[in-house]
Structure 1
């Protein structure tokens, strides 16, 4: 593209220099700039891209996008908001890829990852080529890619959608975080369906209040557009959790056709009844706007019923039969780090789960309490440099459901780990749990080892907070750490009476 073509995309922009400068790429990281690139100076919370224009120009940037003056003799486009400009320019540069595939976005505090994977499974079984973006990874058909954020920055997102489109992907199913919505990462994305899972306390360090958190989630639905179409391919759908009161707000702000799912609320479009949860799976009947059918999924817990209902609703909207959806979902054995069992022939149950919010921890522990025959033990912590108000709440929840609690490090980041543990302990003490029922152990490996070592037949040990993550961030440094691998090694060492394993 030519520089003047970028400038023409914004009414309020000023172009300085040669308008016919040819742009062959876009970058926001000066270290990655190559000859022919347009460098966009993003103003972030901690870093200002304007400070790195010298490196960008030396690396070959032929033009800059700026919010403020910089002293470099290269063509420039000055804009009011470089982050907004990044979304506009990257969409145009990659020729609006989200218009060329069907984009399904899933937002909510909990359940996003599982819901996206369930939808992907159903669509793939119908011979659709799928892409997936989320917390665990990005996938294009069978190829996996590592990701740093749940939702990519606008430039990387559009580049990835373009790559999917070039690989003839039919559907992209993606997690959409509140941060991404607030920061404009998904501006310009042409969503076909937006799904809401739930809203519970999280990220208040960023959003400040639950109301602002709710409003951020609402952006996905309000941006679905304000038009209708007689072409079924152009219609927009909002799939909402009818049991969550936030859905009433989302209904008001979207023009899309609304479909609701749930368990407790009467009148939803897709409802689960006759629920039976065991340690092996979950049985329920689904009543939908196209008929009813019994499901027997291998995923455990009421929260996974909600995830399944969201996936069922979205799949029905794509014209897939209820019978086909049932066959697909019943084959799913589990999602990495989501209520995942670690089994090495022991006579007690060890579960690793990503639950790192009060609601998700309570969901996991409540589910365990419904089938546990022995004692319940929980190993968990809270992330550093994040919402401190949820720490005592999670302590209270652990104390409510558990016989013993090991409070340990999660990703302390730059915080002193013991300070995080003490915040959690306040909630445990307020719940009346005695000192003999819980321990504070900063070293996560030692906490897992002690919890499993004290487990007996039919007991359940929940290791919560990190799930699929394969690292632990301490003092700003990421080190290899996988709860599942640590638990396996501990179990093997106990079974083989070999502490060296």
Structure 2
């Protein structure tokens, strides 16, 4: 593909050198550059791609995309493209380079603080049960038909995402569902994608280290529901039991379907029964309803089922197909996943890592167990510090015994993180209600040794 073709996708560029040159590949990692590639200088949170221009040129880059004026050796005939935002430029060029793959399948985006992963697995299973070839892009793994691949982040960088979507098209995928993080929206990872439907699960405090305020966080999520950049004909699927969802459905100009337990919702649940054997409810749309019995436990999973059902209804599937998809998904890895090793108590692993996520998790634990609830929990390092005391309070307040421990401290001292978690409860609870164990393996062992028959042990966060 010629550089001139790529440049047709972006505006306000300043070009030095020839545009009539063939571009072999695109790259944002200078170590991967080969002869004839276009290298995009991406300014990250830790490193800045502009610092690696010389390396990219020495490896044979034919074009360099930058955000600021730089002294770049042009003796090899390198073309320099200055763009207002190289992340956005990479996203648009990647979509062009791979032939706009999101337009060659039906792409569904799911955003929100909690529930993205489970909702995506439910959507995938509904369409799989309906006989479609499916793809999934998410926090746990990516699926390309029957191929399963490990992942490093919730939403891939734009270049990797477009390459992945192209592989899906080549493998015959008809419907793909993707978790869309707020970081991905702010950092243009999904720019260049065209969505069939976009779903909003909920919004509670998280990522305030990156977004600064809850309003900025909401603003990032809202981008998926604004304008025509992500597809002029896409439909919005929104949880109106969530306060931010009610705002969103008023503010978006997209055709919208609402879901919730609220009777006003387009797709709603009634006669809800939550038990240790799973959830049962009546799925209603307009004047029609169908009885649903799922393996998934906890009231929060009712909302995930509703979100997935609303997406499927909007895309033309009937109630029987949707019911089959909801009822045949046994579990989602790391999402209220029950671990059975012959023990006399219930053991659960769940990814909950926000105050609201911990609250929902412990409410679900109470719903499925009459015994004591013992939680092992920590907070990740180098992330939103303001949620730590809130998580500590919820975990101790809503459990019978809380063991605070390390959870991926990154560059921080685990003891400092736990100390901040305790800021939310100092002097309010007796010492026997909680303890501190820095070693996560030892903390889990202590919880298991403490559990009696009929109790429930839950390990929150990274598992």
TM-score (norm 1): 0.89
Partner of 1:72: 73
Structure-2 change in CA distance of 1:369 and 1:429 (3 Å): farther
Which ranges of 4 or more aligned residues in structure 1 deviate by more than 6 Å? none
Partner of 2:248: 250
Q: 1:2-26 CA distances to partner (integer Å, 9 max, x unpaired)?
A: 1222233333112222322110100
Partner of 1:371: 368
Q: Which of 114, 117, 120 is the equivalent residue of 2:118?
A: 114
Measured in 2, the distance between the counterparts of 1:226 and 1:464 equals 34
Partner of 1:221: 225
Structure 2 contact 239–246 (Cα < 8 Å) conserved: no
Q: 1:3-54 CA distances to partner (integer Å, 9 max, x unpaired)?
A: 2222333331122223221101000000011122111111222211111112
Q: Map 1:403-422 onto structure 2 (within 5 A).
A: 403-422=400-419
Measured in 2, the distance between the counterparts of 1:290 and 1:104 equals 26
Partner of 1:33: 33
1:396 aligns with 2:389: no
Partner of 1:385: 382
Partner of 1:458: 454
Measured in 2, the distance between the counterparts of 1:252 and 1:70 equals 49
SS of equivalent to 1:427: coil
Q: Which of 231, 240, 246 is the equivalent residue of 2:238?
A: 240
Partner of 1:54: 54
Matched residue count: 459
Q: Map 1:24-173 onto structure 2 (within 5 A).
A: 24-67=24-67, 68-73=69-74, 74-173=78-177
Partner of 1:206: 210
Q: 1:472-495 CA distances to partner (integer Å, 9 max, x unpaired)?
A: xxxxxxxxxxx4xxxxxxxxxxxx
Structure-2 change in CA distance of 1:85 and 1:47 (3 Å): same
Measured in 2, the distance between the counterparts of 1:259 and 1:357 equals 27
Measured in 1, the distance between the counterparts of 2:21 and 2:450 equals 68
Structure 1 contact 4–15 (Cα < 8 Å) conserved: no
SS of equivalent to 1:330: helix
SS of equivalent to 1:252: helix
1:316 aligns with 2:295: no
SS of equivalent to 1:105: strand
Measured in 1, the distance between the counterparts of 2:231 and 2:213 equals 32
TM-score (norm 2): 0.96
Partner of 1:271: 268
CA shift for structure 1 position 224: 4.5
SS of equivalent to 1:346: coil
Structure 1 contact 50–70 (Cα < 8 Å) conserved: no
Structure 1 contact 107–177 (Cα < 8 Å) conserved: yes
CA shift for structure 1 position 225: 5.7
Partner of 2:435: 439
Partner of 2:201: 197
The farther-off stretch of 29-38 and 160-169 is 160-169
Structure 1 contact 301–367 (Cα < 8 Å) conserved: yes
Structure-2 change in CA distance of 1:226 and 1:50 (3 Å): closer
Structure 2 contact 192–229 (Cα < 8 Å) conserved: no
Partner of 1:498: none
Q: Map 1:468-483 onto structure 2 (within 5 A).
A: 483=463
Partner of 2:259: 261
Q: Which of 302, 325, 329 is the equivalent residue of 1:328?
A: 325
Measured in 1, the distance between the counterparts of 2:247 and 2:263 equals 18
Structure-2 change in CA distance of 1:163 and 1:226 (3 Å): closer
Q: Map 1:286-301 onto structure 2 (within 5 A).
A: 286-289=283-286, 291-301=288-298
Q: Which of 179, 196, 219 is the equivalent residue of 1:175?
A: 179
Structure 2 contact 226–252 (Cα < 8 Å) conserved: yes
SS of equivalent to 2:271: strand
Q: 1:248-304 CA distances to partner (integer Å, 9 max, x unpaired)?
A: 3322343321111111x2311111111111111111111112610111101001100
Structure-2 change in CA distance of 1:11 and 1:367 (3 Å): closer
Runs of 5+ in structure 2 lacking a partner?
Answer: none
Runs of 5+ in structure 1 lacking a partner?
Answer: 229-234, 467-482, 484-501
